[in-house]
Chain A
Amino acid sequence: MTKKAKILVVDDDHDFVDVVKTLLQGESYDVVVAYNGKEGVAKAKAENPDMMLLDIIMPEEDGFLTADEFRKDPVLSKIPIIAVSSFSGGDMGQPFPFEVDEYIMKSTVTKDLVGKVKTHLKRKGL
């Protein structure tokens, strides 16, 4: 790998961010962190990440709004989004009410995350 892929993690749960960060850094990815949606959009514009992991329930600007902002922006819309939440399908009442590229439940993140990140990065040619 000539260039490390950069992954933006947006989640208000600092502990969970640490888990994901450790996991991804262990896999040699560059990790950028934001603790709310607004910060996520700002960091995405500044850091130009290859992918975003997005929590759904966050104060101020939640994952739904953040994903919406990304989808509307011509540059940010190209960044694949993996929603990572404690919500299961049953909690939401339906599989997912907004468009993301992938959805992972936090309870299975350690099992599923690295594989799914790799798949989506490969799709981007990274």
Chain B
Amino acid sequence: MKIYLYTNVFIDLIMLIVLIHFTGGIENPFIFLLTLHVILAGIGLSHKTTYFIATVALLLVGIMVALECTGLIPHINLEGFISPDQYKQTNYIIAILVALAVLLYSGAYLTTAISGELRKRQRQVVTLTQQILAEKEAELDVSAREIDKLEEEKKRFLSFLGMAAHDLKAPLAAIQGFLWLILTGYTGKITDKQRDMLDRSSRRINDLVNLISDLLDIPRIEAGQLVQEMKEISLGELVKHCADDFSTVAKEKGLDLNVEVPENIRKIKGSDVRLRQVITNLLSNALNYTLWGSVTIRLTETESEQRVEVMDTGIGIPPQELPRLFNDFFRGSNVSVKGTGLGLAISKRIIEAHGGKIWVESPCPETNKGSKFTFTIPSKSR
């Protein structure tokens, strides 16, 4: 490649000298065009090569002048432009050669200096870019390792919570079982006082089981367990099943439980278990806090979302308590039914983990009674 380049440059120089020879030799003012060769070499080639080419150009001109002066090759005069014997005048030759040498070498110097500086900068930019890239790659590696570690920790944490839930509930389930056996008479007769105390113990254990479930649910939802649970589900079927579960309770309380689910509702992506938990919580609250009238659960669908509304004709919620209703451990001032105060707080987390919203209106705008809870799930859930 280098040989090819040098050959090319020399042929080029020789051709130009031949051209100059036939167009007046040293008398031709275009002799200074040789400087352009040096400038081009300075831009593209190394410092050494540039000075070498400048020297070769000067030598070639010197040889041409010498050959012409000695008569070894004929001199072609630029007739009518330069006097015929000027090419033999020593002073003139020296002046032209010196001027040419100065131009060639200063051209070489200037271009090599500028291009040298530019190359240096370019090298610096490349080095800096490589350095930055290497640093960023290292940072990315560290972040990826951190993410892996966090994922691993999250998995361990969720598995720990699962086991904690199991181990806390297992002994309570045994106690509940024994109490139930005693209370239902499997173990013989008990006095009314014993029954009352065992009944209260059983209820307290029930509360404790619910509290354990709720308390362990919060970190699990916040750690993103729901994402693993999500699949294609029918919210319509879910609403109907949950309402079915409450039909006996509603009947016992003399309440109408209305279920409004249109046909052909599209499936959504969500956690069956968790959405069931939300609907159950809303229906259970509505039935608990409604003494007479009705509870209605309605599912509607738009292009972008599905909406579940639970309306009751119950005691409603005092306006000053509405903003705090979804807070952890919040209990309404007008409720007597026992609860952990975490149900709605958990429901909110579940709905938000689905990319939806949940809110309350009291009184229900449609009936001007009780309350209305609404939640939405995007049709294309995350």
Asked whether A94 lies within 8 Å of B229 as measured between CB atoms, the reply is yes
What is the distance, in angstroms, from B348's C-beta to the closest C-beta of chain A? Answer: 16
Cβ contacts under 8 Å, A91 to chain B: 162, 165-166, 216
Asked whether A19 lies within 8 Å of B174 as measured between CB atoms, the reply is yes
In angstroms, Cα B176 to Cα A72, docked, is 35
Cβ contacts under 8 Å, A106 to chain B: 169-170, 173-174, 177
Enumerate B139-181 residues with CB–CB distance to A below 8 Å: 158, 162-163, 165-167, 169-174, 176-178, 180-181
**A81-106 contact mask (Cβ, 8 Å, vs B): 1 or 0:** 00001111111111100000000001
> Which among A16, A93, A94, A95 is the interface contact of B177 at CB below 8 angstroms?
A16
Cβ contacts under 8 Å, B176 to chain A: 107, 110
A115 within 8 Å of B by Cβ? no
Q: A95-B272, A110-B180 are in contact. Are A90 and B170 (CB under 8 A)?
A: no
B357 within 8 Å of A by Cβ? no
What is the distance, in angstroms, from A3's C-beta to the closest C-beta of chain B? Answer: 23
Residue of B nearest to A113 (CB): B177
Enumerate B276-295 residues with CB–CB distance to A below 8 Å: 276-277
Q: A15-B174, A23-B181, A110-B176 are in contact. Are A94 and B217 (CB under 8 A)?
A: no
Q: A15-B174, A86-B166 are in contact. Are A93 and B180 (CB under 8 A)?
A: no
In angstroms, Cα B276 to Cα A95, docked, is 11
In angstroms, Cα B167 to Cα A20, docked, is 18
Cβ contacts under 8 Å, B162 to chain A: 87, 91-93
Asked whether A90 lies within 8 Å of B169 as measured between CB atoms, the reply is no
B274 within 8 Å of A by Cβ? yes
Q: A88-B213, A109-B173, A110-B180 are in contact. Are A93 and B228 (CB under 8 A)?
A: yes
Q: A23-B186, A91-B162, A93-B158 are in contact. Are A15 and B178 (CB under 8 A)?
A: yes
Residue of A nearest to B206 (CB): A107
Asked whether B169 lies within 8 Å of A107 as measured between CB atoms, the reply is yes
Asked whether B173 lies within 8 Å of A86 as measured between CB atoms, the reply is yes
What is the distance, in angstroms, from B44's C-beta to the closest C-beta of chain A? Answer: 67
B88 within 8 Å of A by Cβ? no
Asked whether A109 lies within 8 Å of B158 as measured between CB atoms, the reply is no
Cβ contacts under 8 Å, B216 to chain A: 91
Cβ contacts under 8 Å, A107 to chain B: 169, 172-173, 176, 206, 209
Q: Which residues of B contact A (CB under 8 A)?
A: 158, 162-163, 165-167, 169-174, 176-178, 180-181, 184, 186-187, 206, 209, 213, 216-217, 220, 225, 228-229, 272-274, 276-277
Contacts A89-B273, A106-B173 aside, 5 further interface pairs with beta carbons under 8 A come to A16-B174, A23-B186, A93-B158, A93-B225, A110-B184
Q: Which 8 A-B pairs have the closest CB atoms?
A: A19-B177, A106-B173, A89-B273, A15-B174, A86-B169, A110-B180, A86-B170, A91-B165
Can you sample 16 A-B contacts with CB below 8 Å? A13-B174, A15-B174, A16-B170, A16-B174, A16-B177, A18-B178, A19-B177, A20-B177, A22-B186, A57-B170, A87-B162, A87-B166, A90-B220, A91-B166, A93-B158, A106-B169
Q: Which residues of A contact B (CB under 8 A)?
A: 13, 15-16, 18-20, 22-23, 26, 57, 85-95, 106-107, 109-110
